Amino acid sequence: MPEDLAIFIDWENIYISTVTEYNAKPNVSAILEKAREFGRIVSATAYADWTDGDFRNAPPTLYSNGIAPRYISARYFPGGKSSKRRTNSIDVMLAVECSDFLHNHPQVGTYVLVTGDGDFIPLVNLLRSQGKTVVVIGVSEAASYHLIESADHFISYASLLEEERAAKARDREKKKQFDPFKELVRAVEALKKGNKARVLGQVKQQMIVQLGSFDEREAGFKKFKDFVVEAERRGLVNTVDQDMELQVYLPGEKLPEQGGRTEDNGVKHEEEAEEREIERDGLDLYEDLTPYELKTICESVDRLGERASMVEIVGGIRELDERGELELSEEEIEEVVGALLEAGYLEKVRAKPYGAALSSMNFYRLNKDLKEVRNILKNAA
């Protein structure tokens, strides 16, 4: 069994370092991928003031990668925010919680600290004195030399970027050697053989399993649904709306009757697809989204509870797209959220972001008092 490891991320430090040196935000997936080389991740936490303008959009990405954002309020010298910020509160909280984790989880043998701050040298020494392996991941140009020397292993962030670029280059070379439509057919055949669901998200996931990665945009399609429809036009697969989801079948399979669509009649489906491509003044929840898409989006918002920020709502929908459960561009996600607000599906809630906050801010929740919303959730149950 691989050794257990815990990750503690000084988000402000790594964010400022990567933006300063590389003009880019931290690549969370690359950091996690490197960390997994040292063991099994059992805990991952990132520390920052998430109300800060530079960090507001980070929590959804962190959550989707299994990292818990830990909120630490920023402190300032007298004179307002224009003065230099005190970051000691973040450093101290990270060190305290890491020390506490050390004593409560003795089975964890490796600690990964994502930072370049030399203030963490005493923490590194403490962990090593308890027999733990310490790995530091940071931007070498901005990292403390003494911190680098005190750790068991130091991983330069630049090397992560190089490894990721090399992996993408290998993927691109690999993808040149396959026909995406043949892989689609192979994926549907595999799901059929395993008696598994063949909805769009499942089919795309199977293609990712087969190829390591798959992005329909590299094949010239905006959405995975468009890619599948083109495969249907070529006679490689058949699709049908069933149980509010688009199912994919192989040629020759008997298709269930659904909404006027049968094995011998694909005209209605093609006409509906063409209608969805007609440009409208605004997005219509029932005209532009399938019942499955609308149900999935409402369920995502409902899971956020009675008080969710707009960042969390957009991030939740974006995560559905990343998992292949939806096929929406960034622009379409914004249009969907706007349509939800306009239709009254999202209800505004004024509340304080945390107990000691001086003022309230806008949060949102799914409006379950609306008949349409209740029907969607009822059908999803």
Can you give the pLDDT at residue 100? 96
The per-residue pLDDT for range 130-147, each reduced to its tens digit, is 999 999 999 988 899 999
Cβ distance 214 to 186 under 8 Å? no
Distance, in Å, from the CA atom of 81 to the CA atom of 79, rounded to the nearest integer, reads 7
Q: What pLDDT shows up at residue 154? A: 94
The phi and psi torsions of 377 (rounded to 5 degrees) equal: -70, -35
pLDDT at 375: 86
Phi and psi at 165, nearest 5°, equal: -65, -40
Q: Which residues of 128-160 are buried (b: 16+ CB within 10 A; e: fewer)?
A: eeeebbbbbbbbbebbbeebbebbeebbbbeeb
Is residue 271 a contact partner of residue 206, using CB atoms and an 8 Å limit? no
**Threshold 0.75, pTM exceeds:** no
Residues 336, 283 contacting (CB under 8 angstroms): yes
Q: In which residue ranges of the chain is pLDDT below 70?
A: 1, 75-88, 171-177, 242-245, 256-282, 353-360, 380-381
Determine how β-strand 153-156 pairs with β-strand 133-138: parallel
pLDDT at 260 (0 to 100): 41
Residue 56 token pair: 């507001």
Using alpha carbons only, how large is the chain's radius of gyration in Å?
Answer: 24
Structure confidence at residue 263 (pLDDT):
42
Largest CA distance in the chain: 76
pLDDT at residue 321, rounded to an integer: 77
pLDDT of residue 124: 96
Predicted pLDDT of residue 149: 93
In 3D, which of 136, 100, 106 has the Cα closest to residue 119?
Answer: 136
> Given this model, what pLDDT does residue 272 score?
45
Is the sign of the CA dihedral 135, 137, 141, 143 positive or negative? Answer: negative
Give the pLDDT of residue 93.
92
Render pLDDT for 36-85 as a digit per residue (tens, 0 to 9): 999 999 999 999 999 887 888 899 989 989 999 999 887 666 555 544 55
